[in-house]
Structures are given as C-alpha cells and as structure tokens.
A and B are shown apart, each in its own frame.
Chain A
Amino acid sequence: MTQPFRLARGGLVDRSQSLEFTFDGAAYQGYRGDTLASALLANGVRLLGRSFKYHRPRGLYSAGVEEMNALVRIGSGARAEPNTRATQVELYAGLEAGSQNRWPSLRFDLMAVNSLLAPLFPAGFYYKTFMWPARWWRGYERIIRKAAGLGVAPALPDPDRYEKKHAHCDVLVVGAGPAGLAAALAACRKGLRVILVDERAQAGGSLLFDARKIDGQACALWAEGVIRELQGSPRARVLTRCTAFGYYDHNTVALAERMAPAAPVRQRLWHVRAARVVLAAGAIERPLVFGNNDLPGVMLASAVRAYCNQYGVAAGRKIVVFTNNDHAYETAFDLAAAGVAVAAVVDPRAEVRPDLGRRLAELNIALHAGSTVRAATGRRRVSVAHIAHAGGASSAVPCDVLAVSGGWAPSVHLHSQSGGKVVYDESIAAFIPGAAKQNAVSVGAGAGQFSLAQSLRAGYAAGAGESPGVAGTPVCEAEAPFSIAPLWVVPSTPGGKAKRFVDIQDDVTVEDVALAARENFRSVEHLKRYTTLGMGTDQGKTSNINGLAIMADLRGDPIPAVGTTTFRPPYTPVALGLFVGRETGKRFAPTRLTPMHAWHVEQRAVLATAGLWLRPKLYPRAGESYGESWQRECRHVRRRAGMVDVSTLGKIDIQGPDAREFVDRVYANNQASLAVGRARYGLLLREDGLVMDDGTLARLSENHYFMTTTTAQAGAVMSHLEFLLATAWPELKVRATSVSDHFAQIALAGPDSRSILQALLPHEDLGDEALPYMGVRRGSLDGVALNIFRVSYSGERAYELSIAAGYGLSLWRKLLVAGASCELAPYGTEAMGALRIEKGHVAGPELDGRTSAADLGMGKLASKKRAFIGRRLLERPALQDADRPGLVGLVPAGPDTAISAGSVLTEKAVPGHETLGWVSSATFSPSLNRHIALGFVASGPARIGQRLLAWSPLQGREVPVEIVAPVFFDPQGERLHG
C-alpha cells in the first residue's frame, strides 16, 4: 500500500492528483497540495536528516518555516538547492529530493561516530582545542571546514531566472491568518491600496482547519470569501508563497516570492514601500526540552495537528502529547477525531482546565497531570515515552510520536528588524512586540493575541487604521483564555545520559548552556556565539527563548533581564540569486556604445571595455597579428592619415554671463584670455592640489564654452562642476551640462588630414590662417551643425569633428569616402595610446590621483596670480619638494626590450631596496622602432641621462633603462603644423 500514513479522509490535498517524487533515489507518491514533508510523512519516511555536529538521526519536527531537521537538497546539477526546508517545498511531479550531511548514506552515517565522541566536543571546544601548535592551524582549518555546514551549494552557474519588482501601498499586511485577513479586509473596504503576503501556498493560516465559525460561516469559507473580495479589488494584491524576510527603514519591506515550479521566473524580490505595515506573522510553537527530545518522532504538537487536518496524514500510529499549555489539547482532540490513537496527554500542570479533562475522558485518552516526559527512547525513532508522574512514580508509554508543546513564541522578527523593542509577557511566557519604531502595528498571535476573537478584532482595527471594535469587525464565539505554565527544561533522570537539546539544529544541549554560564559567557549574545545556539539556518526560531530562559535560570535573573539576541534579516534563508536578479554576465552593468559602434562591429574591430564603454582597440586585417595590426595603424597616422572614434570623451557645455569667470576658476591654467573661436589645453586640479583631469576648452561664443575631459573622468568632472556651482559659487550665472552623448566625435589625424577634410568640406577655408592650430570652426554639413576643433593628441596635424550623435555614423562613412584617395584608415585605442606615449602626452596612468602639475612637467601652467581650485593646497611643502617623482621618458639602456608598465624604478632589483619611481606607460614605438616608456622618478628631469632598473617582481622582469626626456617623437612639435 502506498502512503500508509495517509488518513482515509480529511485534509486539503487533492487526492485525485497523484504526484510521483523521489527522496534519496527512492520513489514515492503524494498528492497535489502536499508539501514534501507531508508526502514523506504519509509514506512513513521518518529519517530525513542528520544533525549538524553529532550526526544524530533526525526526523520531521514541524510543519512550517521553523523546521530545523528536515533540510534537504532539491533538484540536481546547477539547479540543486541545498538546505531547503521540506516543510516549505510544495510537492510537484518529478520532484527530486535528497538528504544532506551524511556519508555514505542517511541510514548508515559514519560521521555518527561524533556522537560517541560527544564528551570531547562540548560547546566552544574548537576555541580551546585547535590553539597549538599554531602552524597546524591550516590543517585544522581544512578539516573543520570540511566537517562544517549542512548542504553543499552547487558550483555551477544558476540557470534560473530571478526578477525584482517595486511596489507601493497604503497598507502592507504580513501574514494571511485570521488577523492578517481581517486587516487586509478592513483596509480594502476603506478603499486603501493593500498588499497581503503569506509565505504559504494558500492563504488562511489556522482558519483552514478551524472548526469554529466567523460571522456565521465556517472559518475556511470565511477566509476564502475574504481572499475573493481582495482579489476582486483593483486596489488589493494577494501574494502567496511570499515571505516578508526583511524590514528596513522608511517602512520598506523586502519580500521573496517563490513561483510555481514550471514558471519562467523562479523567484521574485519585492521592495514594498508601505505607508503602514500590519504584522500578523503568527507565532511559532516552542519544543520542550527533555531527554532525547531530538529523536525522530518527537514533533511539535501543532505540526502533528497540521499534518492531520491540512494534509490528511497521521504522524504516527500511537501518539503521546506532552504540553504545558492548553493549545496542544486540540491536537489530541483532532487526532482522535481522525481515528489516530492518542496514548496519553502529559501535562506538568497539576490543574488542567476541567473541560479539557472531560473531553479527554470522553475520548478515552489518559491524562497525566502534574507529570513530565523525562525522556524518549527508541532506535532511530521514538518507541517509548518515559513519564515522571506527580508523586515520584514513573511509567513507560509505548508510542511512535511524541507531540510536544512548550508554548508559543510570537514571530517578533520583523517588528524587531524595523527597530521596535520586544517586551516579556509573563501571562503567555513569551516576548511580544513593544512600541513600534516605524508606522507598523503587530496583531494576532504575532502580538501574543492567541484567541481567534482577539486576532480578528485587532487585525481588523489595524487594517482600518482605527480603534478595536470598529464597525465591520468579524465576530466569532468566545473562547477560554490561553493558559500556560512555563517549563523551560525537564530535569534529567538521575544518572541518565540522554541529551536534552535546546537548539536541535545546532546540537546545543542544556549542558552546553550550563557550560557557557560556568565559563562566564552569560550575555545572551555571548551564549549565542559560544555555543552556536540560534546560529543555524533556522536562526533559533524554536530554540532562542528556551535557551535564554535556561540561561536566566542559571544566572538567577528574570527572563527580561537576559533579553533576546538581535533579530536581523532575513527571516528565513533567501537564495542569493534573488538579490542578484538579472544583473549577471553582460547585464551586470550597462554597456555604453558610441554612435559608430555598428561600423566597428561590421569591420570586426577588436573591442575592449573602457569603464562602461566598448571601444575599438584595433582593426585587424587578414593575416595580421595583434601587434602588426596596431603598429600598422600607428605608422599610417604618421605617414598619411587615420581616424579614431573619440565619442567617449567627456563633453560639457558651459553657458552663462559668468561662464568666463567660472572656467577661469576651475582650471589651473589661465582661461580668461581664451578668445572666441579658439581652444586651449586645460588642467583641472582637485581641492588638494593634485591633478584631477585634463582636456581642452573651446570658446564657442562670448558666454559659451565647450569643455572636453578624458573618457574616464567625464562623470567625475561633471559632478565636480555641478558641486562647485551648487555650493561654492551659487552666485555665478552659469550652467554646466553634460553633452557627452549628444555629440559623436571623430579625430582625424595625419599629414593628409587637412586635404581629407577639405574633400569633405570643399567650401570651408581650412587654411592655417583661417583655422590655425587650436582654432575652432562652427560649421555645418548637409545642414547639420558640425564643430571642428584643430587639436591633436597624436602630435600630427589633426582635427576633431563633433556632430550630433545621430549623424555620427553617417559622418564617419562620409569621411572614409572623402579620405579614400589618401588611404584614410581607422585606428583604435591601442595605436592612439602608442602615439600619445611617443609624444609624451599624459593620460590615465599618469593622472592617477597622486600627481601634481609640477610632477607632470606642467608646473608652469598653474597660475601664480589668480585663485583657482587647488591653488591653496598646491602650495603645501610636500607638493613643492624638488625630490618628488617627476615625469620622465625611459628607453632600454641595453638591447631593445619591452619595459613593463607598473615596474618600479630602482638601483637594485632587491626586495626592500629603495624605490625611486615607477613606470606608468610603456609601448613599442612604431615610429622610432624601439621600446619606450613614461614613468616617474624622484627628482624627475634632473635625472635625465642616469640609468636605473625597471623591475617588475610580479613578472620577474628586470630591464636596465636610461632616463630621457618624455617627448620621444617630434619634440619641436613641427608636425602639428605640417
């Protein structure tokens, strides 16, 4: 017979839809509506995992998020998801699950030997054990790391799709139990925008199997009606399978929504900003702490009841209920009603509510009041409950399930994460939410309101934003108040060796807590770290309160004095993929493309990233090597002409009556004298006097300037200018606007550049008088504005053409046609870099945030008379030191060999020997047919003629170099005009 523990009737599962699944390779059957846990339970599978430290056999303990034992791996390969709570996995056809943390098998786990060695592994043993000899630590660490953890994360990339979404609402309700449904209903009826979230697949919580009535309807039907009403409202959204896992500032709550297995999206991360948050997160039942309370078959009473009522599964054949409160009696009643044998109810309270006792008697269930279960025994599962009766007698009751309840812990996690405090309520022996820090209110069992009527009343009022009792509040019959007698730990049998677990997932026992107290780790935070209490994947949902209560007793303090540990997000584990979303691979960051990108791709240019930009490095021709390609491009620029896409340069439009004053203040070199129609090199300093960036400034009209920056610093310079205008000089009538994307920019360089440009613009006077070096022309082509700047980065006669980006590609093509007779060819950044090194022009490697104008050989550019940004701190003695590293050229002193950029300059290639400088840029110079480099060396140009070593310890290279002037090619600059 399949599913031997499935009850003949009952439950909310769809028995017409049978689903096949596997666990550790064995095939089973369940029904639609089952969780993996309920289906395994229905099939009689009791052993589901091994404990973290001692590898003790463990079975299902709960039916919800608090599950600490039944952590399984779902799926395989790249889709394998470790540490998944079986209680939260909806069953689907073909589900493949496996156990974890065991070897070679779950039934026979060799690591269970740890259990025998338990005396050697008390709390904090590894803090004491692996201290010496220190050099062995690496070995210890490897073994500890191998032994640690539960599941194993797949090493393959996650193939699933995760999405993110933002949502706003007037009221966010967390939890769709009685209080949450009432709150959402009230908010919806007030016309508010409401979002209701629940971590389970079906909203309703305990109402789904509550036999009472609300507003005259069966609870489940009432819940169904509320959901229908919400779903019918355009202003309400109901999210099931959705866990509110983090509560942040500004009433922002993060939700993790799990999609159905076949959905194209696996999970969705919601950022919800709510005007008001209603926390109706319910409560988690606490285990009782007694001997062998971790044996498979020991389960929370509420879970046993849920499996019976919600899934139609009997947790066992003969069940003993052990409880210190009234709630668990309902478990006994429901089991009996379902035909499951209840052997006894054990209650440490001498007095039990008479009506409960009467009902037990009617059902022929033995009640052992004033008694406790001292221990459970059995091989791999419970077979006997050992009861200590009032008066000292004891008995052994055979059973296969021990349903325990130590009371309820309201889920105060989100309240606490939001900044709210928690307070201890003696009447229910639990911490409940205190005053909220944000606009939030806790209701229902999550606020310690354990009666249905209380939950509905508080929930409805919270949803409506009004006082309790507001019109429309759902009503139900009254019930007896919740009663509990705290029982934090059951004394062990004298001489008994059965372990009493406080934190079942982390194998933390009562004795471990006592040891921590003896060793003075008495603060609850110390207790946590020292013993690992509450540090598992369940974050101590079932163990924290028991642990701190035991510590309180050991300290002789009241429980509130001990307090709780800090609740931090996430409430339950969240897949990392959810935070990453779609931002993986090429989507990790946006890519910026120039207007001519399509042409570069068409020509099979080798593309490289430069920040977010994608730029052509070179345009290889058939049969060319990488080096041959860019060197050919370089030579062609020097010999004829080349064109390069420089659209990535930062471009800033500066306008206003005070524009002249503004540019003169921001540049270190004088710009006030720049005439209309002219451009000038510009050096920008930071406030600390070091160089920020360089570029050109063109004066387009009296009050209109066009600034260019390097590609890398475009954003930083723009921010710098905006900051200055907003804070330092708000009185200036100037606006700076980034137009980097508005213009496509092409540099046309080489001896033939003028004739090519003339071919493109036959009606323009491009003679040296009309457009001299550093001249600016505002012209047009086919009616489209075209700016021409006669500036040069290569050292050749050159022009930079600037046109609206939408026409960039067309201009590029037209220019190629115009230059065909001169064999005009494109060149990439590799050639551009070599050309600028040949000319000693500084770029990013030299403008690295550590260099001053003087270091770069441009000290004289900085004005001595006027104020500008960086002026004051430029005068610091350290920046005036003549020994500061200054820019120099470097050539190999011996045979021509490559100099590695990044090498240090030193007299001896010995670690620790004085470093005199560094190599910033290096290349092979096609024009000089030798290797050259730029670098910085102490005292700079004063060392010209000296020899040093360019030493790269990383590459193991050592090249003797001679210090030379930094301009290698055409030092007189004659080619600019030629």
Chain B
Amino acid sequence: MGKTLAEKIIAAHAEETSEVSAGDLVTVKTDVVMANDVTAAIAIESFRAMGVGEVFSSERIMLVPSHFTPNKDIKSAEQARTLTLFTEEQALSHRFQVGRSGIEHVVLPERGLVLPGDLVVGGDSHTCTYGAVGAFATGMGSTDIAFAMATGKTWLKVPETMKFVYHGERQPWVYGKDLILRTIGEITVDGALYRSMEFTGPVIAQLPMSERLTMTNMVIEAGGKCGFMPFDETTKTYVDARANRPYTPYFADEDATYVSVHEFDVTGMEPQVACPYSPDNVHPISQIKPEKIDQVFIGSCTNGRFEDFAIVADILQKTGREFDPNVRVMIIPGSQAVYLNILREGWIELFTIAGAAVSTSTCGPCLGGHMGILAGEEACVSTSNRNFRGRMGHRDARVFLANPAVATASAIMGRLAHPDEL
C-alpha cells in the first residue's frame, strides 16, 4: 500500500513502529521545537512545572521573539525577557534577538534550520509553513511545546491526506497566494480539519520557494494539520544553499491513499481576495466592490519575503506612481535578512519616497499587536493570512487579504484595485 508524505515522515520518526497509516496514534521524535514570544512564555512556565531541568537538545529548540517585538510595552518586554533568560540558561545554540532575526516562519526556512524530512512542532499555528521545504511541521499550544522541549517527543494522530492538483496557465498578477486563497474559498475554513494537504501539479512545479511558503503557510486557514510541497530541483537548490546538517527528502507514493483529490485549472483565474471576516470568504477581485481603504499592510509570514517586496518595487518603478496620500502603507519585511536585501536593492528608499512607513521586522499589525492597529470604521488590504473580527485591531475593522500586487495597486489607488488598473 502506498504512503503519503505525512505517513512516511511520521513513520520515520515513530518510536515503536516503522510503518504507520492515517488514523494511527503514535509517539514521535521531534527534530525541531519552536515557540515565539507569546507561546514560549507559557511553554517555559509549563516546562518548569513539569520539573525537568534541561531541554532535550540545546541545538534543536528555537525561541523566536516576533509578535510584540521590538517590545511594544512593559508586559511584552517582560514576556520577551523570559525567552532571553531561558535561552541563556539552557545555552540554546540558536539565538534570535531583535535586529538579527524576524518572524519565525520566515527566519527558520531562510537559515536552513528546518529541512526536508524533519518533524517539527511549533508553538504557532503557522508552523505548517515548513511543509514547503518538505518537513512535517505542525502547530501546537504551549504545554505541548513544553512537553516536546522536555522530552524531544510528542504524540500525534497520523492525518488523512487531501491532494490538490493545479493545472493550466497562470495569468499575470496571480501568485501562490491566489492559489491558496482560492483553495480555502472552495474547501472552507474547516475543509482540511485534522488533515494533511499535499500540493502538486505543473503549476506548483513552476512556483518559486517564496510562493510555496505562502501556500503552506495558509494550510491552517483550512484547518489543516500540515501541508506539503513536492521536493524537486527548486527545493534542493533552496535547501542546499542553507542546510548545515544532512536531510532526507521524501516523496509521496503514486498509489498513496488520499481522502479526496481536488483539481484546479488556473487558466483565466484572477487575483483572489478574502473579504471580512473569514479567510474562506474568497472572491475574484473583479467581483468585489472597489471600496475605499485606510491602510495597506505588506509583510507577515505569508508574504514578507524578498520576492514579495520585489513585486511592490517593480510596480512602483514601472508606473512611477506613489501611494495614495490618504492611505497608511505599512511595509514590514519578514526578517532582518529580507530587510537588508531590500535595503541593498534601494527599495527602502523607493518605498519611503512613495509614502510608505517601512519598519524593522515584526508580526506587528498582522495580529493587531502594534505598528498599524485599525480603528472601527477602517478598511485594510493586507498580505497576511487572517481577517477574523478584531484580528488587526477594532472588532468592526474590515480586512481584505490579498497578494502583494493587489495590495500595492490598492495602496496607489486608495481603494481595492487590480494591478491592471494602474
């Protein structure tokens, strides 16, 4: 019987068995355990309560301050300090300090800290992002993370897998973001609940790593446990330039068992937008009222990579336009490495002249933390992944999720806009 990627990677990490199938409950070894400033604070408390002195490995635990950092207030500062102290106390070899890191889901793949075939658990729901490099990666809460920090293990139910196949020709201005929004729109926010999502097909084969990361990032928005991109030359080139330890790529078997197969023909597909207040309220941009907006946020672990800002820079350079003076445009690189690269390209100057506020890396407005909170009457186009009520500020604020090109066009026009309108 053929196996899915989730079954193969879980089997390779399982304690008492060498073969698993969907539905099995297994204890597995973890390769990487991650938490951020919000989740690590509780994880460290739970770790202490478990009475364990030392973490299972000082090399495989990554505590990344990202949400309320640079510390936005005293409480956040106290919280972030628990990470710094714990990192020192346990002599963790990977340090992620403000100014030198960024959002965990941008930083970990970028530094080759999560690799193909790894089993990763993270105290953040978007840990599923690492499936783009071929890792089994899933989000958990703080106490589960504490258990993994203490033992290097966790328990899992082997998920069933849904397969998503994309064919056809992508139109200009259509990216991985649009494919995943369209997919979530179709299967809804609990369409992949407890399941693994395998993405494949000729359209995926052509996607660069940045867009693959965008897609696996949003697996959780369909309720998914994990997601996978196939390992190919694109993955190999990306990973080999970064990895400092050996890795094992896995491939799904031809005869693996899938609970469902979803085929998409992307030919003629427009940029997609998720309207308030759910990531599955997705419509093609031409079918949405071009409403006036107050803010645009370009960044986050979904679209905060170099290639995302290249799209923004390209539009500004080609059109010679500036952002609408009535719109607050927040441009926030997903990591300090991205920041430095866009600085070197001259884009920070370009964005600033066009009227954007460019900041150091942080999750910031994505979760309504800081750096661009919305008022009740306001509307925002955001390249992030969630538009729940209250997510970016006031409960009545309206957030439209889109790709970086739509966000840029909207920032220029002062309303939801298709890049072709420029």
Is the pairing of A and B real? no
